[in-house]
C-alpha cells in the first residue's frame, strides 16, 4: 500500500494536523499492518547487521517505526481544499506537487483594508477608500498580473534583509537598504467574478497599543510601505496594445482619514486563479487591491485543484478516513494508489458499501441480538435479586405486620416453651420432696 491520494482539507486545521491524523489511523489499521510489519522486519535486520546495539535497543527503535506519510504543498489553516498526501514510497512523488504542478484556487478578498499577513489572521495595516472601486476596474487589474513574472513577498513577512525582518523595517519606518528580491511566479489564469458587500465577512477591528495608537495610523505615511512598486507580468508589460499609463507600477492608495470612524461593512470580490508553484495568492489579491488605488486582504481561500486532483471528484473527505470503517476506505484508497487521479471517490465508496453491506448488516443484527441477550440476563438477575430480597425481609405484609402463618408459628413456639417450663417445674418439685424424705431417714 504505497502511493498518492488527495484529501479535501477542512478550514481550521493545519496541513500537518491532517498528516498526523491520517498517519495515526494508518498505523493502527489492518490496511497497513502487513506493510508496517515488513518495514519493521527490514529495519530490524538492518540494525542487527549494521550496529552493535543490544536487542532491546533495536526493538525499541523498530517499534517507533511508523507508516511514512507526507503532503505535497501546505495550505494555510484558514484555507480549505485539495491537499496531496503521499504514503510509503509515494512520498517520493511529492516533489512534483511541491515544485512543478499547477494549482487552482477560489479566493475572496475584502477591499478597503490591508493587513500585516495579507489575510484576516493579521492586524489592520492600512485603511483605504472603496467608493471608486468597481468590478470592471478589478477585472482590468487582474489582467495585469496574468502571465509569467515575479512576485515580492509582503513587507510584513518574516523574511529578512541584512539580518533584520521586513516587519521591523516597515514598523520603524526605516528605508530598505536594497530592493526586496522578487521571486519567479506564474499566473496561468486570473479572473475576478463578483464584487459587492457580503454580510458573511465583516471589517476587521483596529488594534491599539498602550498609547491608544493603531498600527494603521502609525504607518499611514510610511514610505517603505507606500512607495513599493507593483510588479506586473512580463506578458502584460510586453503588450504593445496597452497604453503606457496603464503600465505604471507606482500606484498610491487613496488613504482613509486617520480620524475616520470604523465602517460597518466593506465590499469583497471573488476570484479564480490558476498558478504555478511558489505563487502566493494572498500577495496576488493584495496587489490587485493596490492596483485599483485601494487595498485588499484575503478572507477565504479554497484550493479546488492541484495537478489532476479535483475537490469533490477524486479527493477524500478527512471524515472518510476518521469516521468510516477501514473496510470501506481501505479498498477505495487502494484504487487511488493504483489508478491515481483517474477515479471518482464517491462512486468507489458506493461500490465498497454495496460489497460490504451484507456483512455490515449481519454484524449489526448479531450485535443487536447480543445486546438483547445481555439485557435479558440483566433483567433476570435483577428479578432474582428482588425475589431474594423479599424472602429475607421477615415475610412481612405490605403494612409491615406479621402475617397469620407467622403469628401461628410464633404462638406454637411460645406454647412449646411454656409446656417445657411446666415439665421442668414438676420435675424440680419431685426432686425436692425426695431429698426431704432422705434427710428425715438419715
Q: What does the pLDDT look like over 81-120, one tens digit per residue? A: 999 999 999 999 999 999 889 999 999 999 999 988 899 9
What's the CA gap between 410 and 404, in Å, rounded? 10
Q: What does the pLDDT look like over 179-197, one tens digit per residue? A: 677 889 999 999 999 999 9
Provide the 8-state DSSP code for 214: B
Computed over every residue of the chain, the mean pLDDT equals 86
What's the CA gap between 170 and 268, in Å, rounded? 26
Reference 5, options 28, 31, 40; nearest CA is 31
pLDDT category of residue 387 using cuts at 50, 70 and 90: confident
What's the CA gap between 108 and 120, in Å, rounded? 11
pLDDT category of residue 258 using cuts at 50, 70 and 90: confident
pLDDT surpasses 50 at 12: yes
Provide the 8-state DSSP code for 232: -
| SS3 letters across 314-371 | CCEEHHHHHCCCHHHHHHHHHHHHHHCCCCCHHHHHHHHHHHHHHHHHHHHHHHHHHH
What's the CA gap between 216 and 227, in Å, rounded? 16
pLDDT category of residue 165 using cuts at 50, 70 and 90: confident
Question: Are 128 and 294 in contact, with CB atoms under 8 Å apart?
Answer: yes
3-state secondary structure of 68: coil
pLDDT surpasses 50 at 261: yes
185: β partners? 149
pLDDT surpasses 80 at 60: yes
Provide the 8-state DSSP code for 107: E
- H or E element, residue 194: strand 183-197
Residues in the chain: 442
214: β partners? 208
Q: Can you state the angle between helices 326-339 and 345-391, rounded to 10 degrees?
A: 170
pLDDT surpasses 70 at 68: yes
Question: Are 133 and 195 in contact, with CB atoms under 8 Å apart?
Answer: yes
CA-to-CA dists, residue 38 to 42, 44, 56, 87, 127, angstroms: 6, 10, 19, 15, 59
Question: Are 191 and 271 in contact, with CB atoms under 8 Å apart?
Answer: yes
Buried-state track 268-287, b at ≥16 Cβ within 10 A, e below 16: bbbbebbbbbebbbbbbbbb
Report angle CA 283, 286, 290 to the nearest 5 degrees: 135
Q: Report the Cα–Cα distance between both ends of the chain, in Å, rounded.
A: 119
Percent of the chain with pLDDT over 90: 66
pLDDT category of residue 75 using cuts at 50, 70 and 90: very high
Q: How buried is residue 39: exposed, middle or buried, by Cβ count under 10 Å (0-12/13-18/19+)?
A: middle
Retrieve residue 237's grid coordinates: 508589460
pLDDT surpasses 50 at 271: yes
Percent of the chain with pLDDT over 70: 80
Q: Tell me, yes or no, if 76 is annotated catalytic.
A: yes
Q: Which of 76, 119, 198, 287 is catalytic?
A: 76
- pTM for the full predicted model: 0.79
What's the CA gap between 426 and 434, in Å, rounded? 13
Q: Mean per-residue pLDDT for 129-152?
A: 96
Question: Are 282 and 185 in contact, with CB atoms under 8 Å apart?
Answer: no
Q: Mean per-residue pLDDT for 212-228?
A: 65
The confidence score (pLDDT) of residue 158 equals 57
Q: What does the pLDDT look like over 20-47, one tens digit per residue? A: 999 999 999 999 999 999 999 999 999 9
Domains present along the chain, CATH in parentheses: 102-306 (3.30.70.3190)
Q: What does the pLDDT look like over 355-364, one tens digit per residue? A: 999 999 999 9
Amino acid at each position: 500500500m504505497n502511493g498518492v491520494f488527495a484529501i479535501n482539507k477542512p478550514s481550521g486545521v493545519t496541513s500537518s494536523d491532517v498528516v498526523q491524523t491520517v498517519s495515526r489511523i494508518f498505523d493502527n489499521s489492518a490496511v497497513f499492518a502487513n506493510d508496517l510489519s515488513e518495514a519493521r522486519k527490514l529495519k530490524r535486520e538492518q540494525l542487527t547487521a549494521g550496529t552493535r546495539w543490544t536487542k532491546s535497543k533495536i526493538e525499541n527503535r523498530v517499534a517507533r517505526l511508523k507508516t511514512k506519510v507526507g503532503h505535497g504543498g501546505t495550505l494555510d489553516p484558514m484555507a480549505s481544499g485539495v491537499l496531496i498526501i503521499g504514503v510509503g514510497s509515494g512520498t517520493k512523488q511529492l516533489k512534483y506537487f511541491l515544485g512543478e504542478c499547477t494549482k487552482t484556487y477560489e479566493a475572496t478578498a475584502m477591499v478597503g483594508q490591508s493587513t500585516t499577513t495579507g489575510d484576516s489572521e493579521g492586524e489592520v495595516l492600512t485603511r483605504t477608500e472603496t467608493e471608486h472601486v468597481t468590478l470592471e476596474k478589478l477585472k482590468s487589474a487582474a489582467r495585469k498580473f496574468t502571465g509569467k513574472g515575479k512576485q515580492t513577498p509582503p513587507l510584513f513577512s518574516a523574511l529578512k534583509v541584512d539580518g533584520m525582518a521586513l516587519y521591523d523595517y516597515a514598523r520603524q519606518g526605516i528605508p530598505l537598504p536594497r530592493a526586496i528580491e522578487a521571486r519567479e511566479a506564474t499566473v496561468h489564469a486570473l479572473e475576478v467574478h463578483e464584487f459587492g458587500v457580503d454580510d458573511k465577512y465583516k471589517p476587521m477591528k483596529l488594534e491599539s497599543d498602550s498609547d491608544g495608537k493603531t498600527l494603521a495610523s502609525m504607518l499611514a505615511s510610511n514610505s517603505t510601505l507606500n512607495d513599493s512598486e507593483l510588479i506586473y507580468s512580463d506578458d502584460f508589460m510586453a503588450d504593445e496594445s496597452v497604453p503606457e499609463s496603464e503600465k505604471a507600477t507606482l500606484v498610491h492608495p487613496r488613504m482613509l482619514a486617520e480620524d475616520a470612524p470604523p465602517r460597518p461593512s466593506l465590499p469583497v470580490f471573488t476570484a479564480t486563479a490558476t498558478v504555478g508553484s511558489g505563487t502566493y495568492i494572498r500577495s496576488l489579491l493584495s496587489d490587485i487591491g493596490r492596483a485599483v488605488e485601494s487595498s485588499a486582504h484575503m478572507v477565504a481561500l479554497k484550493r479546488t485543484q492541484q495537478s489532476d486532483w479535483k475537490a469533490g471528484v477524486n479527493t477524500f473527505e478527512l471524515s472518510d478516513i476518521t469516521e468510516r470503517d477501514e473496510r470501506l476506505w481501505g479498498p477505495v484508497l487502494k484504487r487511488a494508489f493504483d489508478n491515481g487521479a483517474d477515479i471518482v471517490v464517491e462512486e468507489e465508496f458506493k461500490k465498497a458499501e454495496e460489497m460490504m453491506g451484507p456483512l455490515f448488516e449481519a454484524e449489526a443484527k448479531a450485535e443487536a441480538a447480543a445486546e438483547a441477550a445481555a439485557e435479558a440476563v440483566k433483567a433476570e438477575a435483577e428479578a432474582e435479586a428482588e425475589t431474594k430480597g423479599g424472602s429475607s425481609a421477615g415475610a412481612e405484609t405490605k403494612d409491615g405486620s406479621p402475617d397469620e402463618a407467622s403469628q401461628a408459628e410464633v404462638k406454637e413456639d411460645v406454647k412449646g416453651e411454656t409446656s417445657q417450663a411446666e415439665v421442668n417445674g414438676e420435675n424440680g418439685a419431685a426432686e425436692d420432696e425426695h431429698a426431704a424424705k432422705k434427710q428425715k431417714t438419715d
